Amino acid sequence: MTPPLQLEVKGRDIKISNGVAFSPDRRWMYHSDTPNEVLYRYALDEKSEPGERELFRRFDAKGGLPDGAAVDSEGYYWSAQFDGGRIVRIDPVSAQIVDEIALPVRWSTMVAFGGPDLKTLYITSSREDRKAEELAHYPQSGDILAVEVEVAGLAEPLFPT
């Protein structure tokens, strides 16, 4: 293990790194590579060190690219689908999409759980480099959206000081 606040490379050959999230039991770390259309999973050891990377799910760009993400209290991975106009909820065992939320924006970028019961899903979106006619069709692009969901998220861990 490296000394505190020392950087160590844990993954290579990644085009755009996104969607790092951890299972509630801290046995798994998830990580997406947006342009490569993949979601990886790493087993975590007893010291929370990630093991070998394994392909967990491959996406089809027609439905969006995996971008920012969060895990809920049941262990399901919620992924913003960049250029897909939706958020998907992925089963932690089968890697299948079990639910989705259609959005009034095409380029969602991140999800995070909040609210007093962690059942509000906040969604960020992008409007960068979009043409005027695209923005006319998706005027809420760049907005932060919120939707109530049935399953609570996880509280974000605090950074040790």
User: Containing H/E element for 132?
Assistant: helix 132-137
Judge whether 143 counts as a catalytic residue: no
Sheet with 97-102, strands from edge to edge, namely: 65-71, 77-82, 86-90, 97-102
**Annotated catalytic residue: which of 33, 67, 99, 143?**
67
Reported residue count of the chain is: 161
Joined together, the tokens standing for residue 38 give 């993949």
Sheet with 28-33, strands from edge to edge, namely: 17-22, 28-33, 38-44, 50-58
Q: List, by residue number, the catalytic residues.
A: 67
